[in-house]
Each structure stands twice: as structure tokens, then as C-alpha cells.
Structure 1
């Protein structure tokens, strides 16, 4: 199964651009909302953790059948480490 997402970006004038990527973000209310596949046919929608955050939320969008999906909210510890803050988010880190 491919981890590539097929995107269609549309300008205000209706011009569309088709592209693909493994992960993308939308900045919404000052937060980066990341969307990526999890390798099992589900989409992970998560918000980047900021200093002081104790938890972060992931939304899992899972296809069920034709025109049906399941949406599940997962809360996980933020895991912000003082000494090990060298972590760089990438497509394989599941953040």
C-alpha cells in the first residue's frame, strides 16, 4: 500500500493543481494540523505539540464501506523531553 496522498489544491479563481505527498499540514488557528496515512489505509489527523502541552490528539479516519467512515479520537501523552528535544518530525515518526 502506498503512503502517498493525492492532493488537489484550488485557488480562489478555481484553478486546480494536482500533486502528491506523504504528509501535509494546514495552519489553522495558529496550529499545524498534519494529515498523513498510517500504512493501514487510515488517515491520521494530528496537531503538533507545543511546549507546555501535556497531551496531543490524533483523529483516525478509517474507511468502513462505500460512503461510510469511522472517526476515532486518540489522546496521547505529548512526550516533550527536555534533554532529547533533538527529534525532527518526519513521515516515519507517527507524530
Structure 2
């Protein structure tokens, strides 16, 4: 059983709504960025859809004492690995 995330959503006028969930997504640059707790860590992943020619890298960079920057970068997918494996719909990768 996973621990729920406590969320605080804030409108532009400063009104806050508190809620909770076990997993949440933010649509950013056309991709779903999923956030969920896994043990004592926070897992952040970007869903890859069939037919995608790029995959996403999430870069977390410190900005200040209590701030970080999160950047989504898209890179071309390689369909063949170094060992000659070609990714296809049945390879489960």
C-alpha cells in the first residue's frame, strides 16, 4: 500500500485547496509527467506512447537554497541497441 501524497493546489488569487492522491500527473509540453511516492522516495516519470520518436529526460537542477529547476528535454529514440536488439511492439521495453 502506498502512502498518499498530500497536495495543496493554489489559484492565482491565492485560494488554496488541500487534497490527497496516490499518483498525480501534470501535462507539460504535451507529455504526462507522473509523480508518485515509492517508499521514502518520490518517483517522477514521463509516459512514452507507441509511435514516439523521442523520449524525455527530466533534469533536476538546484536554483537556490530552497528551489530547484525541473527541465524536460526530448531526445531521439534509438530503435536498435548496441547488442543489435531492435525495439518493437513485443519486446516489453
- State the TM-score bracket (shorter-chain normalisation): 0.5 to 0.7
Matched, 1:12 2:12: yes
Q: Which runs of 5+ in 2 are unaligned?
A: 61-65, 67-86
The structure with higher relative contact order (CA 8 Å, sep 6+) is 1
Residue 80 of structure 1 deviates from its aligned partner by 7.3
For residues 88 and 4 of structure 2, what CA distance do their matches in structure 1 show? 28
Structure 1 length-normalised TM: 0.54
Larger radius of gyration: 2
Paired residues in the alignment total 65
Structure 1 portions without partners, runs of 5+: 62-66, 68-78, 85-95
* Change beyond 3 A, Cα 1:18–1:31: same
Please list every run of at least 4 consecutive aligned residues from structure 1 whose deviation after the TM superposition is greater than 3 angstroms: 53-59, 79-82
- Residues 1:33 and 1:80: Cα distance change in structure 2 (over 3 Å): farther
Cα RMSD (Å): 3.1
